[in-house]
Chains A and B, each alone.
Chain A
């Protein structure tokens, strides 16, 4: 069965500093990996995805993520955090070779960027 772990419930970072939100996954085959962001009282917004190819994926709002197959990780990063990046971030995985399985989400990491 596929699963996602976001080991940190909360990440605090000062504005202008680099940020990292961690995600590890478990699938039996090859993964599709996604990052979503949720602002208060809103649905989830897609940030970026890894399907295949380059391990470094660039997405919306200056975010990027690096796929590391040996460490089964897909950490979300941004070189310089903004206060407006404060939100709830979700990592999600789908197993490429397990047929029509649903997307599985982590429990989310709350990012707080302090001015």
Chain B
């Protein structure tokens, strides 16, 4: 079974631009979660989607948004980029939402905002 894939792996943007990141979960997994990883803050939860519905949302501004498609693939969008948005963005998939099953993580997208 193929693992979680994320594209692109690296992005360089400038302040004020917007960016879209993509995540394809493991086949059969319907829940996708997104996290922001920075050296000082560790992993911060962004949001979770299950069956095309947002189930949970973390404490991030409205510039951060996401969606999930019928094939469970998910995208997250960040508008009006700020320098502080530079981070590794990780997505993780699991079979269902809220279960004790472990999450499977993708390799991440490294976003650099100049």
Report B's interface with A, CB cutoff 8 A: 4, 33, 35, 41-43, 45, 48, 55-56, 58, 90, 92, 97-98, 100, 102-108
Contact = CB atoms under 8 A, between A and B. Distances in A.
A10 to B, nearest CB: 13
A90 B105 CA distance: 13
Given A43-B4, A107-B42, A101 B56 contact: yes
Interface of A: 32, 34, 36, 41-46, 49, 51, 90, 94, 96, 99-108
Contacts of B100: 32, 49, 51, 94, 96
A43 B33 contact: no
Contacts of B33: 102-103
Contact of A43 (B55, B97, B108): B108
Nearest to B97: A100
